[in-house]
């Protein structure tokens, strides 16, 4: 490819509306252009990278036994109603209406479509297991599309769905995808690691997200340096999550005491009260899917909303308004409590595991300006359900090793999930077993954000000069840079000759034939991030040499006659380092 022939508009200035470095580089390196928030056009260089990532994904999916198909992006709403997600996912669903005033959905994901296919096509245990995948455009009505391709309204996803006859089979399918994902990200040159993820109401421990550590990520990952534990904060536990507050009961009955103006945990912890946060019960009034509930947390803990949703199966939860609280409990926030004797309502009470067995606690008296002390949870509270609902904090002991946990930000690039029979039951994807009985197929689903992965590579592989593409996904492995571009000149002639030889060896090259100063060409090539630049200048050619400059590495001179072999060897070694196909 000649630079002048393609379309590679680099930018010197950092675009003002790009907040994170990978987004800035996407634009500056001429990979994409924004149409409007959350919608991007892929320019030739961006598209080349995208195709390479897709190719790696396809190879690894095929190797893991996946079979590719392609489903429609436009979907009828009846399957969404049947799965129950027309309601529960309505926040992200793009709905469109046709001329006959019928509503449709632009697919944010394809469980409904694939399960409908399976319902019609997979009827016997002999056809199982099957793992279907596609690479396709998804639509999500993200409220705040941002960070370029990271959170877009339209993006490319690889989604796969496995159908098994048995639970053990489904676990094997899950493991194959888990292993394939590790290989895919490694081959893309990405350091991504699997963490335990929220499984929502489906429960179980069979969901992992693949995370790329990055300050700009939107996820918090809790991990132990031993490598034995890593989980999304939405799911993470520590030893502190299961250990109850130590008993400190005086045996006394709950005692009401005046706390005028005290409405926070901190105020009750301060003089003259001095009740440590750990010995307070925080009472939250929440409205989950329009039903009120009380959620009790230890005073020094914070509620993890994802855990609450997962444990209750609620779709949405919000704090009750002050008016709703007064109507329900007869007191304002700051004096609330769940001591049975002070509760005038039959609202469900959920409590965090860390409170279990707590004694000598202090909580609100459901009377403005008053609290209760000497509260023993088992004796004085009527807890309807105990769950792990707290958010793990830095430094708490790892459940596996006891070592202090750390937390870091990360980008979710992939997700594997054992679904069980949730969708196959709802959409009737059953099969006949060998003994003639009929069962719903056991499913798994597996997603990779292809466009997000592309940007995550940039987020991880860049320096002050621009992108540093791993050779496996670089738009071109080699940038040939003749410093004189006049047709027939020695640098240009040699560059064209070298290009022909490299292309013949299967190495993709771009030849910078622009009549620009060397500094401009070098800067652009570094910004776009080609892994190897080959400089052909009159001075070094006169000495019989060509310069090889790996991106981010040191320059090396090689004899003209050996240049092609040297470049081929360099590219092959880099490819192998990343684990070629
Ligand atoms: P997030 O929590 O970031 O919103 P998700 O958990 O809803 O993502 P999944 O349904 O698991 O996403 O989708 C599979 C993959 O698709 C994700 O791991 C991510 O890489 C990618 N993805 C999801 N939403 C977007 C988006 N709005 N823009 C780009 N990629 C996305
Ligand atoms: Mg996810």
- CA–centroid distance, 395 to ligand 1, in Å, is 29
Query: What is the rounded distance in angstroms from the CA atom of residue 346 to the CA atom of residue 13?
Result: 62
The answer to whether residues 388 and 307 touch, using CB atoms and an 8 Å cutoff, is yes
Query: What's residue 245's pLDDT?
Result: 63
The answer to whether residues 73 and 156 touch, using CB atoms and an 8 Å cutoff, is no
Mutate to test the pocket of ligand 1, among 447, 448, 455 (most ligand atoms within 8 A of CB): 447
Give the torsion sign (CA, 15, 19, 21, 27): negative
pLDDT tens for each residue of 43-59:
999 999 999 999 999 99
H/E run at residue 76: strand 74-76
* 151 Cβ below 6 A of ligand 1: yes
- CA–centroid distance, 123 to ligand 2, in Å, is 30
* 527 Cβ below 6 A of ligand 1: no
pLDDT tens for each residue of 206-258:
999 999 999 999 999 999 999 999 999 999 999 988 666 665 677 889 999 99
Residue 173 has pLDDT above 60, yes or no: yes
Closest residue by CA, ligand 1 atom 27: 151
Tokens encoding 298: 């230890």
Mutate to test the pocket of ligand 1, among 412, 455, 459 (most ligand atoms within 8 A of CB): 412
* 140 Cβ below 6 A of ligand 1: yes
H/E run at residue 567: helix 563-577
Instruction: Return the ligand number nearest the Cα of 92.
Output: 1
Q: Give the rounded percent of residues in the chain with a pLDDT score beyond 90.
A: 92
Average model confidence (pLDDT) across the chain: 95
* 279-294 CB burial, b ≥16 within 10 A, e <16: bbbbbbbbbbeeebbb
* 558 Cβ below 6 A of ligand 1: no
Instruction: Return the ligand number nearest the Cα of 306.
Output: 1
Query: What's residue 204's pLDDT?
Result: 67
pLDDT tens for each residue of 328-339:
999 999 999 999
Q: Give the rounded percent of residues in the chain with a pLDDT score beyond 70.
A: 98
**CA 142 to ligand 1: nearest atom:** 27
Residue 201 has pLDDT above 90, yes or no: no
- CA–centroid distance, 414 to ligand 2, in Å, is 7
pLDDT tens for each residue of 8-33:
999 999 999 899 999 999 999 999 99
Backbone angles phi and psi of 31, in degrees to 5: -90, -40
Query: What's residue 445's pLDDT?
Result: 97
**What is the arithmetic mean of pLDDT over 304-311?**
95
Residue 539 has pLDDT above 90, yes or no: yes
Question: Could you identify the residue written with the tokens 């071109």?
Answer: 476
E-strand stretches of 320-390: 349-352, 361-364, 370-375, 385-387
Query: What is the rounded distance in angstroms from the CA atom of residue 127 to the CA atom of residue 236?
Result: 38
Query: What's residue 246's pLDDT?
Result: 61
Residues 378, 383, 389, 395, Cα dihedral to 10° = -10
- CA–centroid distance, 532 to ligand 1, in Å, is 33
- CA–centroid distance, 555 to ligand 2, in Å, is 42
Q: Which residues does residue 259 pair with via DSSP β-bridges, in sequence order?
A: none
Closest residue by CA, ligand 1 atom 21: 449
Instruction: Return the ligand number nearest the Cα of 94.
Output: 1
108 versus 249: the higher-pLDDT residue is 108
Query: What's residue 250's pLDDT?
Result: 75
Closest residue by CA, ligand 1 atom 22: 449
Closest residue by CA, ligand 1 atom 8: 412
Backbone angles phi and psi of 186, in degrees to 5: -65, -40
pTM for this entry: 0.95
Quick check: bond before 55 cis, omega within 30?
Answer: no
pLDDT tens for each residue of 385-435:
999 999 999 999 999 999 999 999 999 999 999 999 999 999 999 999 999
Give the torsion sign (CA, 266, 268, 269, 273): positive
Query: What is the rounded distance in angstroms from the CA atom of residue 300 to the CA atom of residue 225?
Result: 25
- CA–centroid distance, 290 to ligand 1, in Å, is 27
* 360 Cβ below 6 A of ligand 1: no
Residues 289, 293, 294, 297, Cα dihedral to 10° = -40
Residue 203 has pLDDT above 70, yes or no: no
Stretch among 215-229, 236-250, 279-293, 504-518 having the lowest mean pLDDT: 236-250
Question: Where residue 479 falls among pLDDT bands split at 50, 70, 90?
Answer: very high
Query: What's residue 345's pLDDT?
Result: 82
- CA–centroid distance, 150 to ligand 1, in Å, is 8
- CA–centroid distance, 240 to ligand 1, in Å, is 30
- CA–centroid distance, 208 to ligand 2, in Å, is 9
């Amino acid at each position: 490819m000649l630079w002048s022939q393609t379309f590679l508009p680099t930018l010197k200035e950092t675009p003002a509306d790009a907040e994170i470095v990978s987004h800035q580089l996407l634009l500056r390196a001429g990979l994409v252009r924004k149409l409007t928030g959350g919608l991007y056009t892929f320019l030739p260089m961006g598209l080349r990278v995208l195709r390479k990532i897709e190719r790696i994904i396809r190879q690894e999916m095929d190797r893991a036994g996946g079979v590719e198909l392609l489903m429609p992006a436009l979907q009828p709403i009846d399957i969404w109603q049947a799965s129950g997600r027309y309601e529960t996912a309505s926040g992200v669903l793009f709905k469109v209406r046709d001329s006959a005033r019928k509503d449709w959905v632009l697919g944010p994901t394809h469980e409904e479509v694939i399960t409908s296919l399976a319902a019609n096509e997979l009827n016997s245990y002999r056809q199982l297991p099957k793992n279907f995948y596609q690479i396709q455009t998804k639509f999500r009505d993200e409220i705040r599309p941002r960070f370029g391709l990271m959170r877009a309204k339209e993006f490319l996803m690889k989604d796969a769905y496995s159908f098994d006859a048995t639970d053990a089979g489904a676990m094997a399918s899950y493991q194959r995808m888990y292993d394939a994902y590790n290989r895919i990200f490694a081959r893309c040159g990405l350091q991504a690691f699997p963490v335990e993820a929220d499984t929502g109401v489906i429960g179980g421990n069979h969901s992992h997200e693949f995370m790329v550590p990055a300050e700009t990520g939107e996820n918090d990952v809790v991990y132990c340096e031993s490598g034995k534990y890593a989980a999304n904060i939405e799911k993470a536990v520590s030893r502190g999550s299961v250990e109850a507050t130590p008993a400190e009961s005086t045996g006394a009955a709950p005692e009401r005491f005046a706390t005028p103006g005290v409405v926070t945990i901190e105020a009750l912890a301060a003089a003259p009260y001095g009740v440590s946060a750990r010995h307070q019960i925080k009472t939250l009034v929440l409205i989950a899917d329009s039903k009120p509930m009380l959620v009790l947390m230890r005073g020094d803990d914070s509620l993890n909303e994802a855990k609450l949703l997962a444990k209750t199966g609620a779709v949405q939860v919000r704090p009750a308004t002050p008016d709703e609280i007064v109507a329900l409990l007869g007191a304002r926030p700051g004096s609330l409590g769940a001591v049975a004797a002070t509760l005038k309502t039959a609202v469900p009470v959920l409590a965090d595991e860390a409170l279990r067995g707590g004694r000598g606690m202090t909580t609100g008296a459901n009377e403005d300006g008053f609290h209760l002390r000497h509260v023993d949870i088992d004796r004085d509270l009527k807890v309807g359900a105990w769950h792990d609902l707290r958010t793990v904090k830095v430094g708490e002991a790892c459940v596996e090793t006891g070592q202090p946990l750390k937390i870091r930000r990360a980008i979710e690039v992939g997700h594997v999930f054992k679904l069980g029979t949730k969708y196959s039951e709802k959409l009737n994807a059953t099969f006949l077993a060998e003994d003639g009985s009929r069962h719903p197929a056991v499913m798994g689903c597996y997603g990779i954000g292809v466009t997000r992965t592309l940007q995550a590579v940039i987020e991880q592989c860049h320096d002050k000069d621009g992108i540093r593409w791993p050779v496996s996904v670089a738009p071109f492995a080699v940038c040939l840079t003749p410093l004189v571009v006049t047709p027939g000149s020695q640098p240009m002639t040699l560059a064209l000759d070298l290009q022909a030889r490299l292309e013949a060896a299967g190495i993709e090259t771009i030849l910078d034939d622009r009549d620009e100063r060397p500094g401009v060409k070098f800067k652009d090539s570094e910004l776009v991030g080609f892994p190897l630049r080959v400089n052909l200048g009159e001075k070094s050619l006169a000495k019989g040499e060509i310069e090889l400059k790996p991106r981010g590495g040191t320059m090396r001179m090689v004899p003209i006659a050996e240049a092609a072999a040297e470049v081929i060897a360099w590219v092959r070694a880099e490819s192998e380092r990343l684990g070629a196909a």
